A and B are shown apart, each in its own frame.
Chain A
Amino acid sequence: MGQVIAFWILAVAALGAAIGVVASRNVFRTAVLLLGCFLAIAGVYILLKADFLAAVQILIYVGAIGILIVLAIMMTHEITHGSKSNRFVLPALPIVAASLGGIIYAALNTKWQIYGQASKLPLDTASTATIANRIFGENGFVLPLEIIPILLVTTVISAIVLVKVKKK
């Protein structure tokens, strides 16, 4: 029962914050609402018993990405202009509604092969150790894990090159 209440609170918080991000005209308020949305999603991960992902979500999304976005807002001086909408406000609605309907229809009408007894899911397994074993163990994901640092180094170098002021 507690799980049901927690799910609805977190779902309403995440959706409300996301709608606030789209609806708010103040750019800074948008960033704060986005952080709220990320926090609510971290709560959803905890409900799904993915505690490691919840911690990583708070560290990376709320911590790193949130700070980066606030910094970018400060640097671009766009607060004075606000977050306006363009002329696609009405034409975009049917597109979004159609995709929402399509996704929900597909999600509800597919016969998912639920593992074991649905009421007992998600299972109680310690996720950090299991994820580590899954990545580094037999038939693991060591090659993707090795590609991630290459990607991150490329990212850092390209970001520095892009933002560097060229001397005239």
Chain B
Amino acid sequence: MTIGLSHYLILSAALFCVGLYGALVKHNAVVILMCVEIMMNAANVAAVAFSQFITPTAFTGQVLVVFTMAVAAAEVAVGLAIVLTIYRNYKSIDVEKIDLMKW
């Protein structure tokens, strides 16, 4: 038995869905951000797997992942800054209590 592309894709799909579930059900904004990070990592795993199995000489998938990692770092910095600002104004980061724009 060898580990092929489909193994990595199923691992990536499972990680993505665990992250999706967490992002849907959690109250805490920081935990939701963590789940979004898991989803992003799952997408990166799929990109690297595609790159290594389908175009192993072109390396475009790995270059893409280098850029997504930079964007992920930026996203976390801004996301946590927003969470801290919300905490300062509401004294809570429970997403159910942040309902200023709820109709």
Contacts and interface: CB of A to CB of B under 8 A. Distances in A.
Interface of A: 3-4, 7, 11, 14-15, 18-19, 21-22, 27, 30-31, 34, 37-38, 41, 44-45, 47-50, 52-53, 56-57, 60-61, 64-65, 68-69, 71-73, 75-78, 81, 83-86, 88-89, 92-93, 95-97, 99-100, 103-104, 107-108, 112-116, 118-119, 121-123, 125, 127, 130-131, 134-135, 141, 144, 148, 151-152, 154-156, 158-159, 162-163
Interface in B66-103: 66-67, 69-74, 76-78, 80-85, 87, 92-94, 96
A58 to B, nearest CB: 11
Contacts of B19: 18, 22
A163 B82 CA distance: 8
B2 A69 contact: no
B34 A122 contact: no
A153 to B, nearest CB: 10
Interface of B: 1-11, 13-22, 24-28, 30-31, 33-35, 37-38, 41, 44-45, 48-49, 51-60, 62-63, 65-67, 69-74, 76-78, 80-85, 87, 92-94, 96
A84 B41 CA distance: 23
Contact of A130 (B14, B18, B59, B71): B59
Contacts of A77: 87
B18 A15 contact: yes
B21 A96 contact: yes
A129 to B, nearest CB: 10
Given A121-B53, A163-B84, A81 B94 contact: yes
Nearest to B25: A85
Nearest to B19: A18
A69 B34 contact: yes
Contact of A158 (B35, B58, B81): B81
Given A34-B38, A60-B73, A72 B84 contact: yes
B28 A18 contact: no
Contacts of A81: 27-28, 94
A38 B77 CA distance: 17
Given A81-B28, A122-B53, A144 B67 contact: yes
A3 B19 CA distance: 26
